[in-house]
Amino acid sequence: MINLTETALKVLEERYLLKNERGEVVETPHEMFRRVARRVASADEIYGSNSHETEELFYSVMRNLEFLPNSPTLMNAGTPINQLSACFVLPVDDSIESIFESLRNMAIIHKSGGGVGFSFSRLRPMGDTVASTMGVASGPVSFMRVFDVAVEVIKQGGRRRGANMGVLHVSHPDIFRFIDAKTSEGPLRNFNLSVSVPDRFMEDGMVDLINPRTGETVDSVPSREIFRRIVKAAWRSGDPGMIFEDRINRHNPTPSLGRIEATNPCISGDTLIMTSEGPLPVNELEGRAFMAVVNGSEYPSSSGFFKTGHKEVFELKTREGYSLKLTHDHPVLVMEDKPVWKAACDLERGDMLVMDSGSSFNSGERLSTFLSLKSKGYEDVYDACVAGANAFNANGFIVHNCGEQPLLPYESCNLGSINLSLMVSASGVNWERLRRTVHTAVHFLDNVIDVNSYPLPEVREMTLRTRKIGLGVMGFADMLIKLGVPYNSGEALGVAERVMSFIEGEARRASSDLADERGSFPEFSGSIWDEMGFGGMRNATLTTIAPTGSLSIIAGTSSGIEPLFAVSFTRNILGRKFTETNPLFERIARGQLKRDTVEMIMSRGSLQGVPGVPEKIRRLFVTAHEINPVFHVRMQAAFQRHVDNAVSKTVNLPPDASIRDAERVFRAAYELGCKGITIYRYGSKMNEVLRFPEYAGSCRDMSCPN
């Protein structure tokens, strides 16, 4: 017997359970889990394993609500659609053909149940010239409206409305139009927006606004002006968020593909690479294997160079006349006390750059003195993975190859979440149950890659190269309540670190074990896992924290790593309203609180300010708006330290929070090591997904506890 709430059953009937041509539900939740388990387990047969035993294992963790895969897997596995991935990234280049090709591909993906992320940073700005028609460009925001309208008329798989992520780089001339695009309700309702910023943006300097078509700087704006505009817009509407692109590149083996298009260290296509065939330009090595020659030794690149996008490039020059075009974050070899890698943007005048000597690294390196680094506009840029050396000779310079797997256009990622509220025993966290669930979940998500029916051939090709998965969690707030730990406490931060560190470690062990049985992901050689000394890894990324909105409803637990929204609230699902009360509160209330006290709490949605509530219970059932906003960021950062990809968390602000409060949150996210940040001020939208019966209990200022 599956223990499902009334709301969970309604959601399953509306969105997940199979229906006949008359719209009648024709399967039970048991049968849905069996359908999914059978299809996903069938991948074991590819590797000579017993799929029947695996089917029972997969069925068990879903039936017990210990682990649930993302919605497309529950909806589509074992059906003719069979599209099982949650998130995709599609390129949008600066041409009508590319824009509408991406629109077409988006429609195909949404129809089959996925969500899509786009970077619109390559599109020419509003007012720019369109040479083919002698007309004037309308800019990226106008094309985003076209995408938005298309999503409005497409339901994902017929049951799930599409969602898009739109990203624009802070240096785009239309950045202010993008920031303000959702400050009034209605426009771009099917987009979440984020501004992608480099570290130097947070250093309070000037931002050059650069036309991506020409590479010319059209204006320079103080970064604080853009930052304040972002904060004000987010305070008003919840959009945009911010993505810290340099941090993603430094710390993430392969950035989360359903959410953003990240910037990878890259070089221009006309760069000469020393190979066993002699010096060859990058664009002749695109997509083909070659032997890189570094200091006289040969090293293989099995896949050759790959295009990573159309990005701003900088010309690095030395006093001796050497030059190289590369992105600002590409590491080059510098001689200090010993050779060290240094990002191009961190070079200082007089730094000694190591040039290829034609022999071993340590036998009299040739050195060249750094002179300057200047922007040269936007170009198509490339990177490669070179096994063994993890570097290559580019125009004579020794530069690092992709120490991380690149975020390639057309990749997808399939997600799943462990229900932490079930990983608690009388003595504390049930580490053994959690360990077993992690290993089963990694096995499940890896199998999904093999049995998936991909909506586009390009998606299939790219996904199989890196085999990315995203294992996350839900029910963290409920876990803390069961452990007797208030969410807004230092102890809760410690629980977050220990639990996610454990999941991270066990997921790596599970992926390594699968690599022993099935082989590593094809791009393993030269990857960060290779550099770290792992003998093999099945998956390029393993962990992420997804929002788990629908999954947590099915599991009957709190969403993702969020605190409780309220102890009692109204939920708006598919236009229908459901009143919910936290079951853990109900259990405690029955034995420890008077009826009139409980009724007051239920009417307010909060324990704060209600007389007759013991302090321990009041602290245990703290809700999102009663927590200092910066503490939300601290919790996000605690999880981020043990997550490959990004952490989805919303910093909830009370309705009377100030713009200054919102600014503190954005700054804290950068300072504490988050990869991105999203805020939401309650009441800033007319239609709330979750609503208090009577708004109460908010954190009125930044001095509230933690």
| Cα(277)–Cα(271) distance, integer angstroms | 15
In sequence order, which residues have a C-beta less than 8 Å from that of residue 84 and are 6 or more positions away?
Answer: 40, 69, 70, 72, 73, 76, 77, 414, 448, 451, 452, 453
pLDDT at 705: 39
Q: Are residues 590 and 485 in the same domain?
A: no
Q: Are residues 527 and 574 in the same domain?
A: no
| Cα(243)–Cα(609) distance, integer angstroms | 37
371 assigned to some structural domain: yes
| Mean pLDDT in residue range 224-246 | 94
Name the residue range of residue 381's domain: 267-400
How far are the Cα atoms of 394, 509, 564 from residue 584, in angstroms, in the given order?
61, 34, 11
Identify the band that residue 704 occupies on the pLDDT scale cut at 50, 70 and 90: very low
pLDDT at 261: 44
| Mean pLDDT in residue range 364-369 | 76
Which of the listed residues 358, 375, 400 is the one where a domain comes to its end? 400
| Cα(393)–Cα(345) distance, integer angstroms | 19
Phi, psi of 330 (to 5 degrees): -75, 130
| Mean pLDDT in residue range 675-704 | 59
Q: Which of 87, 190, 245, 266 is catalytic?
A: 266
Q: Which of 164, 192, 264, 539 is catalytic?
A: 264
Q: Are residues 186 and 98 in the same domain?
A: yes
**Which residues are registered as beta bridge partners of 343?**
331
* 588 or 658, higher pLDDT: 658
In sequence order, which residues have a C-beta less than 8 Å from that of residue 158 and are 6 or more positions away?
Answer: none
pLDDT digits (tens, 9 = 90+) for 85-119: 888 888 888 888 889 999 999 998 888 778 888 98
How far are the Cα atoms of 219, 223, 634, 679 from residue 240, in angstroms, in the given order?
22, 16, 20, 9
Asked which of 22-31, 148-157, 356-365 is least confident by mean pLDDT, the reply is 356-365
| Cα(41)–Cα(59) distance, integer angstroms | 9
Q: Are residues 171 and 289 in the same domain?
A: no
Take residue 340 and report the two structure tokens written for it.
Answer: 């060290």
Work out how many domains the chain is built from and give that number: 4
377 assigned to some structural domain: yes
| Cα(127)–Cα(136) distance, integer angstroms | 5
Q: Are residues 97 and 228 in the same domain?
A: yes
Q: Are residues 491 and 636 in the same domain?
A: no
Q: Is the pLDDT of residue 163 over 80?
A: no
Q: Is 145 exposed, middle or buried (0-12, 13-18, 19+ CB in 10 A)?
A: middle
Q: Which residue has the tokens 């245990």?
A: 620
Count CB atoms within 10 A of the CB of residue 486: 20
Q: Are residues 148 and 241 in the same domain?
A: yes
Q: Where are the alpha helices (DSSP H) in 489-540?
A: 490-518, 528-531
Cβ 169 vs Cβ 210: under 8 Å: no
* 668 or 340, higher pLDDT: 668
Q: Which of 66, 312, 379, 404 is catalytic?
A: 404
| Cα(321)–Cα(643) distance, integer angstroms | 43
pLDDT at 252: 46
558 assigned to some structural domain: no
Three-state DSSP at 662 gives: helix
Handedness of CA 454, 455, 457, 462 (dihedral sign): negative
pLDDT digits (tens, 9 = 90+) for 57-77: 999 999 999 999 999 999 999
Take residue 308 and report the two structure tokens written for it.
Answer: 């990573």
Identify the band that residue 134 occupies on the pLDDT scale cut at 50, 70 and 90: low
Q: Are residues 520 and 448 in the same domain?
A: yes
Q: Which residue has the tokens 């007051």?
A: 600
**Which residues are registered as beta bridge partners of 286?**
305
pLDDT digits (tens, 9 = 90+) for 510-566: 999 999 999 999 888 877 788 788 899 999 999 999 888 889 999 999 999 999 988
The CA-to-CA distance between both ends of the chain, in Å, stands at: 41
pLDDT at 401: 62
| Cα(58)–Cα(635) distance, integer angstroms | 31
548 assigned to some structural domain: no
In sequence order, which residues have a C-beta less than 8 Å from that of residue 679 and are 6 or more positions away?
Answer: 234, 235, 238, 241, 629, 650, 651, 652, 653, 662, 665, 666
pLDDT at 1: 66
Count CB atoms within 10 A of the CB of residue 427: 6
Q: Are residues 473 and 491 in the same domain?
A: yes
Three-state DSSP at 220 gives: strand
pLDDT digits (tens, 9 = 90+) for 276-309: 999 999 989 987 878 889 888 887 775 678 766 6
394 assigned to some structural domain: yes
Which of the listed residues 251, 277, 292 is the one where a domain comes to its end? 251
**Which residues are registered as beta bridge partners of 577?**
572
Q: Which residue has the tokens 């050059």?
A: 208
169 assigned to some structural domain: yes
Three-state DSSP at 382 gives: strand
CATH number for the domain spanning 510: value is 3.20.70.20
Cβ 684 vs Cβ 238: under 8 Å: yes
Q: Are residues 217 and 281 in the same domain?
A: no
% pLDDT > 90, the chain: 51
CATH number for the domain spanning 383: value is 2.170.16.10
Q: Is the pLDDT of residue 255 over 60?
A: no
pTM score: 0.77
pLDDT digits (tens, 9 = 90+) for 167-215: 999 999 999 999 999 987 668 888 999 999 988 899 888 999 999 888 8
% pLDDT > 70, the chain: 87
Handedness of CA 129, 135, 138, 143 (dihedral sign): negative
Q: In 3-state terms, the chain is what percent helix, strand and coil (to 5)? A: 35, 25, 40
DSSP 66: S
pLDDT digits (tens, 9 = 90+) for 384-432: 766 555 678 999 998 876 433 334 567 788 899 999 999 999 999 999 9
pLDDT digits (tens, 9 = 90+) for 565-582: 888 877 666 666 767 788
Half-sphere exposure of 142 (CA within 13 A, CB side): 11
Q: Is 266 a catalytic residue?
A: yes
101 assigned to some structural domain: yes
Closest of 268, 539, 302 to residue 416, by C-alpha: 539
Which of the listed residues 400, 426, 451 is the one where a domain comes to its end? 400
| Cα(64)–Cα(41) distance, integer angstroms | 17
Q: Are residues 421 and 371 in the same domain?
A: no
Q: Is 264 a catalytic residue?
A: yes
Identify the band that residue 310 occupies on the pLDDT scale cut at 50, 70 and 90: low
* 195 or 650, higher pLDDT: 195
Closest of 640, 453, 659, 415 to residue 547, by C-alpha: 415
Asked which of 55-64, 450-459, 628-637 is least confident by mean pLDDT, the reply is 450-459
Q: Are residues 63 and 111 in the same domain?
A: no
Three-state DSSP at 656 gives: coil
* 605 or 613, higher pLDDT: 613
Closest of 590, 601, 528 to residue 567, by C-alpha: 601
Q: Is 192 a catalytic residue?
A: no
552 assigned to some structural domain: no
